[in-house]
Structure 1
Amino acid sequence: MADVSSALIALLILSPMGLGIDVLQLQNTDFDYWVSEQDMMLVKFFAPWCKKCQKLAPEYENAATRLKGTVTLAEVDCSANSGMCGRFGVNGYPTLKIFRNGKEAAIYNGPHTAVFTHAEGIVQYMQKQVGPSSVSLHSKADLDAFIDNFDASIVGFFPGHGSTQLAEFLKAAATLRESYRFAHTTKAELGVMHDLHTETVLLFRPPRLHSTFETSIEKYDGPINISGLRKFIKDNIFGICPHVTQDNRDKLKGRDLLTAFYDLDYVRDPKGSKYWRNRVLKVASQFQSRSLSFAVADRREFWKELEQEFGLGLSDSGGPPVVTIRTREGHKYTMREEFTRDGKALERFLEDYFAGYLKRFIKSQPAPERNNGPIKVVVAETFEEIVNDPDKDVLIEFYAPSCRHCKNLEPKYVGLGQKLLGNPRIIIAKMDATANDVPNGYDVQGFPTIYFARVGKKDLPLKYEGPREVKDILKFLEREATHRLGQRSTKDEL
């Protein structure tokens, strides 16, 4: 028994982990040793007083347990090991870095949330980092198995391991592995199968998305380097009509995008999923040259967004797709006619869209019948008329009815409006940002958020970030307003 106790004590002395803890606790003295012992390690640099670090801690521990035996997760307390954190340029907490074979390889760039990172996001992200950045393929069976995947596959074909182009391909794979799947082969017969007689790269779209409306393979013809491959993949990976999910939707940002939402499930209902997508593809192929991208998505995955952003209630399952368009400027359109199997309704919708006949969808409360108080109530449909009035400066508060800070601000904001009520050149306004679309240019991430729309600069609203006392807001307005404020006098000190 004594021998067992002695062995256990020795184990605890030698190991930077305590019993029941799967996150390595690293110090200045042992950091280099433990990092060099691992093929790959994720290291969290933190400070005990940091609230984000405190929220991340249980998620990080959970991820470490789930990844045990696959990827090692470690952490460094920067308050006790400032030299180590300074060495790796840590200037904010928490900071996560990936190390490979003892050397810093990359900043962790996985899924972020309000609590910084979820365990599931860490697990999925780090699992993609395991193994080589590009898989070596030796046979047709290897190639077939690799491209038979839910995601697209990028495969390089080379004459031998000494190829300089292969070396460039592997550099690109190491850089882009977080976003795409790579493989390579030096087997000439695999290239011949695809009629390749020189070293090049092919992009294979997922088998579930194959259709008669587009090729399932795209060939890269440029010089093989990181920038060229990145552009080639970005331009071709989605094809005419990709399957959009919560995981890949950010990659489609910056486009004018039409999305058809229906009960899409390639596992349980591949036939139905393909049927409706093919109907969209048929129409999309006719409008492909226009400045609009197309996609399909599972309505159940996006039902909250459809309900809140487009007013589309989707309680019933099944049925034809519902169609929306969201532009880069944030404008929204919905197809009110039912999607027909021949695609004619979608064609009419698109013809009206490109002709400029469609009315934008705006989520808006009804405009109030009376609006003469010290605070003008703005809704989405009256925003242009009130806030973008070219002759008036407008201070507008974006609020949420349930927000405690908004309720605390209300009497002060009303007091501000009362002091300026006699000035015809300035408007003090508010808008419920939970019930109305917030226009582009107004970044509302929390409540209350206050902006000032000045005459002549309506396209560049100025965010107010000072104290929320009336006297402080007045000082701001006196400095920024186009004309003198002309305040009402009052006995109360505001």
Structure 2
Amino acid sequence: MIRKGHSTFLGIPPLLAVLGVLFFVASADVVDLSGNDIDRWSHSGSAFVKFYASWCSHCKQLEPAWNHLGETAPPGVTIARVDCQQEKSACARFGVKGYPSLKLIKEGQVYSFYGRRDPDKLREFILSKYETIKPEPFPAVPPSSATDAPANGGASKEKSAQGEGSNKKETDKETGTGGGQPIKSRVAELGDGNFTSVISTGVWFIKFYAPWCGHCKAMEAAWEDFALLHPTDGKGRRVMIGQVDVTANDEIATAFDIRGLPTLKLLMDGNMYDHVGTRATEEWARFVDGGYLQTRSEKIPLVHEHKGPDHTILLDDSNFEHLTQAATGATTGDWFVLFFAPWCGHCKKLAPVWRSVAASLKGRINVAKVDATTSTETAERFGIKAFPSLIFLRHGKMYSYEGPRSASALEAFAEGGYEGLEPSPVPPVPSLVSKTFSAARVFVSETQTRLLEFCHGSPSGAIALCVIGFIGGISIALILQTRTQQQRKRIDEKMQREKKKS
């Protein structure tokens, strides 16, 4: 009996090894690339790469479809992504000028995707449609000096070519002409806190930029020079020159739907006009002096300004139940809670409204927020599946809000509007067992991701995974065999005792 069981157990390791490999391969996910990881496809293999920026709303909207593509990718195609805020040199090599940029790398050729970004279209492209696109050769790694120059100095090629005269001009600009006093920049730095009030009057020509953007750095000196020219529009009005760092001002970047850098917009009389010409002072002067009339106008989007203290209470897994006492409905009062994700565009639009609600209800109702991407335990407890999600907690009951997201509507709901809804009981605090299972799920997910990154595009990695699976299977088989033998021995001993008694 034991021998038969032993042979059965010895058949388990290969099966576990195969199932383990299949499990990890079937769980294929999106691979984050860094440094020169992308060079593994410079001569062979296939990878579909998304070049993105964390502040880009279109990149965030693409995230679910891209993750789905990672799970259903055809065999032999790696689905990957590159964060251009972290990997500036890689994005510069591939000529990325807008976000998101999608590029299929296949057999040393690069095919750029243009079209509707839904899973079916993306999958169709990597299967066959890419053949209709003229490919570009895989870009070579630039010399280290060329790669480092923009990061260190931000100097453009044109500026370097000007030589000594250009350096003198920069020196004069910084120290003044003969007086030894620095000339104050005439470019206004705008942000979430002052944007709306500043641009509400006059005519503004705004540059949207990022500190890491090479093209932005290259035009920096010209932008300063243009501000010193005191340009005027076609009606003789002074044009003010400003700039916005989109990496530090998410609200403005989202409201203006900034996709490429640098982006230049002329704002006047409630309308805005996109500049799409060459980046030179003469071209900008023509544009603001009437050239903008040849382009399509759009209404200037509303950007809420953050003024005064933020009365919103930040909750997380560690303090949620202690502060809200949601399960017992005890002594801390009513709570209106926003569950959000940092990448969620609708959450960003709601943020200033939520601050206003918190200020208005201060002292009467606790207004709070939870980052569901980091406080996963609390998000799972309340069944959060979409962002933003709003829940009102009162006396151990909860009410889900699904109405308009205006300050007046939210305040009316918290001050009594919830009474017209059927409440649900507040979910209990997670037990130690459920917390353990949740931590185990996170551990398994992170382990899968690490193993995938280790194995993708690496035959030796796949072989290593098989070996690990085989060894793991052997170990489990031996453990099961030992336990079975011990159990059989106890049963035999028990039968012997009962036989003696009889």
TM-score range, shorter chain: under 0.3
More helix by share: 2
Kindly name which structure, 1 or 2, has the bigger radius of gyration based on alpha carbons: 2
* TM norm structure 2: 0.23
